[in-house]
Structure 1
Amino acid sequence: MPQPPSAASRDEPVIRERGDACPGALRLHAADDGFLARVRVPGGLLTSRQASVLALAADRFGDGHLELTSRGNVQLRGLADGCGGGLAELLDGAGLLPAPGHERVRNIVATPMSGLEGTDRPDALAWAMDFDRLLCASPWAAALSGRFLFAFDDGRGDVASLGPDVTVLGRPEGRALVRLGRAADAVELAGPDAPRAALTAARYFLDAAAEAGTQAWRVSELPVEHALRTAEFVRCLAVAGIAAAAVGAVDWPYAPAPRPRPRGTGGPDRATLCVLPPLGRVGSAQWRVLAQVTEEGSGALRVTPWRSVILPTVNADAPARIEAAGLVVAPESPWESVTACTGRPGCAKSLADVRADAQAVVDRARGPLPVHWSGCERRCGHPRGTAWVDLVATGAGYRLAAPGRPVRDGVHPSELAAALADARTDPDVVKK
């Protein structure tokens, strides 16, 4: 399947000329369309009030839109120079900046549907919230990179497949596995100890990176001689008072479980909805509709790593109101499995307005395989853990790569609909 440019080998030290410039809510990023703020939303959980405040921030300081990211966070774009203080004050008042020194390291994803389907799986969101409190209360944790990712998976394998640095995976009988990076083995421990174990894993990583003398931001970047070892992790856990045992040859869910799709579940009066904003971009008025139906229902919503929103409990009239706002709640939408980077005009590196190009062909280029539109070779926000069709702007059209097919260069916008529809048909599906 298409892959992004390969990461540096762990046999070579990671050499960087600058520190981690990953944007946050306090460290704004200068883009072509103004400044950008990334608000971390651990576990994707937002109260209706916090959601309303984000809409207010988009209108007061930005371009009136919110972007959902592949880590379940929210971005504000088009921010004016000098707005940082006012934005921080607004976010802090809504409880979105509980630890200013840690705001960029709160990269925590959790199974979006955890606890909503009446299964016997653990509540991964509760784990994530407990962990976030521990992380924010640990001064040393502020040294983590803004790219380091924690995942709390209730056992179905959805967020475990996103390439986390630390993965907690629910097991039967109240147990959990904790994995470091992409290791084949793991440690098993009691579920209630999972948040503290994940924090211990982060400390182990920072200690290993310091000992190696590298600028590693993620577990995969550690040189081989300083790679994290399960046996040593068990020892670290014992020092922290956590009983754990090494488990070898775990059948990890490298292929993702089915992600939430636009739909409603539940009874005729109250339902759980999965809402899909096309390309993960939501106008502030649309976002306020979600906040309003959330307030009338469960009081909280969940942003997923697939740029959708779970509304745990809503009234019977909510789907019609949400669809009227221009968001997708019905299954089989052409926008399912279509993602894109920011593209022009917001990104200086982009060679095309990928969002506009996607919009132009979305109805004519359907297919079972996901597709990601990229304005340059960096492929920001591309899918992980699954086969996908890769469209990259080159300045002379698009390069199209799909599983089991030869790469096509120079695909002109007028040819995109037919070429993409063909590429999105998985050859294995056709054979069946």
Structure 2
Amino acid sequence: MIRFVLTLCVALAASVAQAAVNIQQVTSPGGINAWLVEDHAIPFTALDIRVVGGASIDEPGKRGATNLMMAVIEEGAGDMDAQTFQTRREELAASYGFDTGDDMVSITAQFLTENRDEAVGLLREALVNPRFDQSAVDRVRQQVLANIASDAKSPGAIAGAAFDAAAFGDHPYGLQLDGTVESVTALTRDDIVTAHANALVRDRIYVGVVGDITPDELGAMLDRLLGDLPATGPGLPVDTTSALDGGVTVIPFDTPQAVALFGQPGIKRDDPDYMAAYILNEILGGAGFESRLMNEVREKRGLTYGVSAFLVPKFHAELWLGQVASSNATVAEAIDVIKAEWARLSEEGVTPEELDKIKTYLTGAYPLRFDGNAEIASILVGMQVIGLPPEYVENRNEMLNAVTLDDVNRVARDLLQPEKLHFVVVGQPEGLDATD
């Protein structure tokens, strides 16, 4: 019955989330900051925590340690083994999530108000007192190794790994966050303990909370949940830039459909022109079937089922990426069309009609992101991480509409660099010569 109640709360949260988002900034007695959207309509709370660092702070030779640690962290805590911990979580109808990215680790939780103290206490044990039993480490390690083996057979994963390695070399961004077979196999329990101490530190924590909780209750909860984590961690990586120049890299792979990942240098998230670049990308390759790339590559020529482009402003480097899949016989033509469209947009810019249409789409779609407590909590914490103020939620569409045609076309001229567009193609492409 309690699981049904939690499911019902999630559904109700989605139905009420369209109301105005009133963000409160909360600081716990112990000095932990969070953003809160208080909503007592349903007895349910969603919590989203990000800690800056992520896989990028893996120690030398220990690639994959943070990823493995975050995968093992709920496999037993305190005096509870893995099975006891999971049984208790299910009894509380609580939901926890743990994930690793290049620049952050994330912890999410959802729980009912009636079980809040117990659910938070259980999560605290996982964060502060994980057991990291050798049997659990070895079992989860095998799951990670299975994922690595699967990626070695995936054209998309192969393209991504090759692109990252060529772009960033020995920088952490050039290495796969889940590690290699060799690095993961060699990880010891002590390595996992060290990764835990390095990754979960208070001075890099950002928190978003939505639901049935007051600021005072949240402050006490934050100190209880996070107050016993280490105060600081190791230094972050240095900033870097992509070493790739224009050209084509071909990685032979036995598959009837070639996969291509392409990209050039991007733009920082805090750049004053980021909003214009965001709009430009949506017109180029982000707005589904309405984008230029979809129109030229799929609709006009039937060369692919899908092609897209996206801005990737990482913490220490920026890329503008895209991806396409096409048959080995047609991928060369698809690449030629993408290059031509990249150059045409740089030279000619967008039309007033395109700009008006994309603004209407983007401003209309924005409120739909706020469709549940967990989704709003994720937005809150994401805004904090990239330095946006609370009022951004209210001002975002106004800021987007303020971007002019001249702004977008200036950014197109300045930022789009067709000569630097590099393609990594995995497959057996016909009529496509590698240039490196």
TM-score interval, normalised by the smaller of the two chains = under 0.3
Question: Bigger radius of gyration, 1 or 2?
Answer: 2
Compare relative contact order (CA 8 Å, sep 6+) and give the higher one, 1 or 2. 2
Query: TM-score under structure 2 normalisation?
Result: 0.27
Looking at secondary structure, tell me which structure has more helix per residue: 2
Query: TM-score under structure 1 normalisation?
Result: 0.27
